Chains A and B, each alone.
Chain A
Amino acid sequence: MFTGINSATMSKILLVEDDEIMPKIVARILPASEYELHHVSNGKEAFEKLDSTNYGYDLIITDIMMPYANGFEILSKVKNRERPIPVIIVSNAGNEDMIMEGFKLGADDFLKKPIIPAELLIRVKRLLMKNK
């Protein structure tokens, strides 16, 4: 977990990613002064985290292919709530069917790996602003 100084004004982001490098990269892309980044490494931990925090996240960044529960299951669970949380899918599975499936389930954005760091930052900012 990477926390900033003033939790009240910072955006809380949940990163669901089983790759060991990606969380380090995302932590560097999203400045700690503006974003409180929580990381889990599979779908099961994501569900536990969401339940324990009562879905108190401003944004979720998730991969698709993960152990226990994939990104689509997380997406379905999050989007079926009264106050859905915006979700960005970041995956190297880039075939057309998967992308369309993600958008059909309600994903707000899709980034194919390898990502351009500045692009991720802009898309995160845009979604958070839109949601506020």
Chain B
Amino acid sequence: MNIFRYAPLAIQLAMIFIVIATAGTLLAYFSILRSRYLGYRQDKRMSYLLPKVDNLIIEEVLTNPEVTETSYSDQLILNTEGFQELPMHKKWVREAITGRIMHFRRNVRGNMGQMLRSLYMQLDLDKDTMKKMKSGKWEKKVQALTEFINMDMSISDVTILPLTNSRNRELRAAARHAYIKLSKNEPFKFFDVVTEPLLMWDQVELFRIISSTEDIAVPNFARWITYSSNKSVVSFCLKLIVHYNQLPAVPAVIKLLDTKDHYLRANAINCLGKLRVPDVEEKLVSLYSSQPLHCQIEILKALGRISSGRYIDFLKQEFLHSTDFDLRKSAAKSLVKNEWIASQVLQELIDTANPENLRILKHCMNPLIKY
């Protein structure tokens, strides 16, 4: 202490800094050691518990002689005595069993999947999941939602709906997935309350969930095309309209052609092209000259997809006289798609094209090249 008290200020500061740094380093080491020890202890517990749980699940569920494949009943009471011999009062044991049941359910379905679900409920593990749902921590809520989805447990819409607009991105995504999977009446109701934009990755994930959910109640997405103020929701609904081939939604999509947002307009044109709506061709061609570049490209692509053969001359003019490379390429591609009626025009173009145009035509005519 005397050394410290009588040392110059710079030395005193250096000594304080050394003590803090050493303490911090020791703290970091102890923290790493502690987490490693806890991990080791957890692994040891699991290596003891999991084989027992697996055997119990296989004995009681997979090889249950009381249930045949055709006669499974929801009322069947499974023998859970074996599970009661495990320390079920410990939270980590219950979580391990829940995790294991979910793992089994990822591998089997049908009657056995239902029996695993019954086992989950008969062991009162759903109560733990409900407690997690009420937790203040977002990670616990996400875990609970994942368990509800995996176990196909119904949960009231009013519980999940507010979470679909959470500021936490992961919780928001999990809540949306859960709402689509678990809501029986209106799985897309959260589109009404979405304020945050649906990011590209969110849309990819949502699309995957929607297209892989069996017996989903598919609404007419024209509702959100017309009334939603969230542009990303409108854009996503356009993709869903194409996926479900909702022709009744076409009038709503056509109205979107008048929107001031040219990205949304491009998406609408893309949607109409993929739905192959021939009646809209005339309107698209009339709009063409006043559109920005990417909308013009979408119009040309739509004409190719619709492939009615009525605008071959228009496509030919664009191919020959447009100054933009992408426009010429899109026009060429659409001409090739109209080959059933435009083969002579294509041959004429090939015979008279300059080297660059010829290259574009050959690229578009190559069936191995998609883009």
Contacts of A129 in B (CB 8 A): none
Q: Which single member of A24, A92, A118 contacts B110 (CB below 8 Å)?
A: A118
Q: Is the CB of B109 within 8 A of A21?
A: no
Q: Is the CB of A21 within 8 A of B69?
A: no
In the complex, residue of chain B having the shortest beta-carbon distance to the beta carbon of A94: B212
> Which residues of chain B from 100 to 142 have a CB within 8 Å of any chain A CB?
100, 103-110, 112-113
Q: Is the CB of B58 within 8 A of A28?
A: yes
Q: Is the CB of A117 within 8 A of B104?
A: no
Chain A 80-92 against B: per-residue CB contact (8 Å), 1 yes, 0 no? 0000000000001
Q: Is the CB of B106 within 8 A of A114?
A: yes
Q: Which single member of B69, B100, B107, B110 contacts A25 (CB below 8 Å)?
A: B107
Contacts of B63 in A (CB 8 A): 28
**Known A-B contacts A115-B109, A118-B69; A21 and B104 likewise in contact (beta carbons under 8 Å):** yes
Chain B 26-69 against A: per-residue CB contact (8 Å), 1 yes, 0 no? 00000000000000000000000000001000100011000001
Contacts of A19 in B (CB 8 A): 107
Chain A 4-37 against B: per-residue CB contact (8 Å), 1 yes, 0 no? 0000000000000001011011001100000000
**Known A-B contacts A28-B63, A117-B62, A118-B69; A21 and B107 likewise in contact (beta carbons under 8 Å):** yes
A77 at the A/B interface (Cβ < 8 Å)? no
Q: Is the CB of B62 within 8 A of A22?
A: no
- Count A interface residues, CB 8 Å: 15
**Known A-B contacts A21-B54, A24-B54; A114 and B105 likewise in contact (beta carbons under 8 Å):** yes
Distance in angstroms from A88 CB to nearest chain B CB is 15
Contacts of B109 in A (CB 8 A): 114-116
User: How many Å lie between the Cα of A92 and that of B113 in the bound state?
Assistant: 16
Q: Which single member of A21, A92, A116, A118 contacts B103 (CB below 8 Å)?
A: A21
User: How many Å lie between the Cα of A115 and that of B108 in the bound state?
Assistant: 5
Q: Which single member of B69, B100, B105, B106 contacts A92 (CB below 8 Å)?
A: B106
Q: Is the CB of A113 within 8 A of B107?
A: yes
In the complex, residue of chain A having the shortest beta-carbon distance to the beta carbon of B54: A24
**Known A-B contacts A21-B103, A25-B104, A28-B63; A117 and B58 likewise in contact (beta carbons under 8 Å):** no
Q: Is the CB of B58 within 8 A of A22?
A: no
Q: Is the CB of A117 within 8 A of B110?
A: yes
User: How many Å lie between the Cα of A110 and that of B64 in the bound state?
Assistant: 27
Contacts of A114 in B (CB 8 A): 105-109, 113
Contacts of A119 in B (CB 8 A): 110
Distance in angstroms from A109 CB to nearest chain B CB is 17
User: How many Å lie between the Cα of A21 and that of B54 in the bound state?
Assistant: 8
Distance in angstroms from B343 CB to nearest chain A CB is 30
Chain A 96-113 against B: per-residue CB contact (8 Å), 1 yes, 0 no? 000000000000000001
In the complex, residue of chain B having the shortest beta-carbon distance to the beta carbon of A114: B109
Q: Is the CB of A22 within 8 A of B69?
A: no
Distance in angstroms from B53 CB to nearest chain A CB is 11
In the complex, residue of chain A having the shortest beta-carbon distance to the beta carbon of B110: A116
Q: Is the CB of B62 within 8 A of A25?
A: yes
Contacts of A115 in B (CB 8 A): 107-109
In the complex, residue of chain A having the shortest beta-carbon distance to the beta carbon of B104: A21
Distance in angstroms from B258 CB to nearest chain A CB is 36
Most-contacted residue by chain A among B54, B69, B108, B110 (CB, 10 A): B108
In the complex, residue of chain A having the shortest beta-carbon distance to the beta carbon of B208: A95
Distance in angstroms from A124 CB to nearest chain B CB is 15
Contacts of B69 in A (CB 8 A): 117-118
Q: Is the CB of B106 within 8 A of A24?
A: no
Q: Is the CB of A22 within 8 A of B107?
A: yes
